[in-house]
Amino acid sequence: MNDISTFVGPVIDWLAISPLLALLAGALVLLLVGSLTGQWPWRLYAHLAALSAVVAIFVSVRLWDDVDTNGARLLIGGALALDQFALLGTIAICLAIVLVSYLTSDYLHREGVDMPEIYALYLTAGIGALVMIASNDLVVLFLGLETLSLSLYLLAASNRQQVSSQEAGLKYFILGGFASAFFLYGVALVYGVTGSTRLINLNTALASFIPVPRNDAVLLIGIGMILIGFAFKVSLVPFQAWTPDVYQGAPTPTTAFMASVGKIAALVALVRVFVVAFPSRSDDWGAIILVLSALTLVVGSVVAVVQTNIKRMLAYSSISHAGFILVGLEAASHRASPNVDDGLIGVAVYVVLYAAMVVGTFGVVSVVTNDQANSDASGSTSLDSFKGLAKNQPMLGLAMTVLLLAQAGMPLTSGFVAKFGVIQAAVSVGSYELAVIAMVCAVIAAFVYLRIMVNMWLADRTDTATVVVPTLSRISIGVAVVITLVVGFLPSLVLNLGSNLAELASR
């Protein structure tokens, strides 16, 4: 019998995993202390959740300097990666948690309920998201994926007084289960071919041999199933059918959380897996990514035009944004190009800017539609609810206009910087057809945002009710607008982050 004293565990860099520990500490305090004490004063739950995320942001900034000085590295026996690509995703996710927590506080106050578990779910979802974006192992990635997914299922169904919320949670759970099954089966097939689930080991194993004739069908099926699993989570066409229904039915702050944290985690993890583990098969998956990106851009932009529900419009808009981010991944598949790293940098910049844009936009929707439990699934979030908003609340209308222009990719906004980055990456590697499709779809999508702006500024309000903007929602929306404008006017703030963004720890 082996002597247990001979077991040597992995070395743990506690500072490097401090962002995870900060979110975990906040979740434990909310669940344990919240369950053992009486009702806390309003807003304190949100402040604690936001504080946990802010601490994680500060630690990530500290780690950024450390990676700049000492280089990227692997953690906990190679299970996680510490690099600037993961750190920028961590900052984007934690920023979204802060902003959504404040939106949720005002939403729950309007609903008249006390739910500290909502904030705990935000933090546990954030933990899963952080594990996903830093995973250097497919099994660890799956654990992070399930931690994130289970939290999102509960959040989508968190409004027990609203039937549409229960329906959204059930739809998300069923389809999410299928996506997880595809992903796990793909991992099993890849492991069967290579004998490993570590990303760097997969790359080494696959680069060491070239089957002649090409008899690696099992491997390609496994890679394809992993891609299908990611495609469900990211809402890529044709796996996007759940997105508008779930976004419409879930509470609006939860929708903002899913559209930001959920999408960012899945996209960053998707990029890391395919760039680190399967670069030797980029000729195979690069063409598929090109097709998926083009389909996602076209469907997301075109279908959004015919929607009359604001949350469904923004759901298809988020699908279109996923297509734009995929343009960067397609650029990263051109390994022979000297500009291959432009795609990774474009993706990293896009996700952090997208987080601010989408949370701010859904924040305005939450304030304007004021979706109470007694409203139906479509009435309170119809496009008509924005009629005359700018006349009623000029500053709120201006904030929404800025955020919509950013999503459309207008110059002097962060959206232009984000879209220009991925399109420029596609052009630099020679993917001209995808770059053209992306630019045309950006023009089509602009019509969607224009419809909302016309309703806000030119239409007359159908009711006389005054839109009230609570303090925390005002802060959340304001921060999103400031980030959008500052990056738009000073793009060097993100463009000068450096080429280290493309230096992944396990490459």
Residue 461 lies in a domain: yes
Residue 400 lies in a domain: yes
Distance of alpha carbon 475 from alpha carbon 485, whole angstroms: 15
Return the number of other C-beta atoms located less than 10 Å from residue 134's C-beta: 30
Judged by average pLDDT, the poorest of 155-159, 464-468, 477-481, 500-504 is 464-468
Beta bridge partners of 74: 81
Cβ proximity of 226 and 185 under 8 Å? no
Q: What is the average pLDDT value for the chain, to the nearest integer?
A: 84
User: What is the per-residue pLDDT across 297-346, written as a single tens digit (0 to 9) for each?
Assistant: 999 888 888 888 888 888 898 898 999 999 988 888 887 777 778 888 88
Structurally, the chain folds into a number of domains equal to 1
- Evaluate if residue 210 carries a pLDDT over 70: no
Residue 507 lies in a domain: no
pLDDT for 373: 36
Question: Comparing 20 with 113, which gets the higher pLDDT?
Answer: 20
Averaged pLDDT, 205-215: 67
pLDDT for 379: 42
Q: Which residue has the tokens 């968190």?
A: 158
Residue 214: which pLDDT band, with cuts at 50, 70 and 90?
Answer: low
User: What is the per-residue pLDDT across 131-178, written as a single tens digit (0 to 9) for each?
Assistant: 999 898 899 999 999 999 999 999 888 887 778 888 888 888 888 888
Residue 455 lies in a domain: yes
Residue 2 lies in a domain: no
Q: Alpha-carbon dihedral of residues 60, 66, 69, 75, nearest 10 degrees? A: -100
Residue 217 lies in a domain: yes
Beta strands per DSSP E along 76-150: 80-82
Averaged pLDDT, 452-458: 84
User: What is the per-residue pLDDT across 42-70, written as a single tens digit (0 to 9) for each?
Assistant: 678 888 999 999 999 999 989 888 888 88
Cβ proximity of 455 and 392 under 8 Å? no
Averaged pLDDT, 441-454: 87
3-state secondary structure of 212: coil
Share of the chain above pLDDT 70, in %: 92
178: buried, middle or exposed (CB in 10 Å: 19+, 13-18, 0-12)? Answer: middle
Cβ proximity of 384 and 462 under 8 Å? yes
Residue 7 lies in a domain: no
Would you list the DSSP string of 469-481? --HHHHHHHHHHH
Print the domain residue range for 371. Answer: 14-501
- Evaluate if residue 375 carries a pLDDT over 50: no
User: What is the per-residue pLDDT across 170-201, written as a single tens digit (0 to 9) for each?
Assistant: 888 888 888 889 999 999 998 888 888 888 88
Residue 506 lies in a domain: no
Strands 73-75 and 80-82, how do they pair? antiparallel
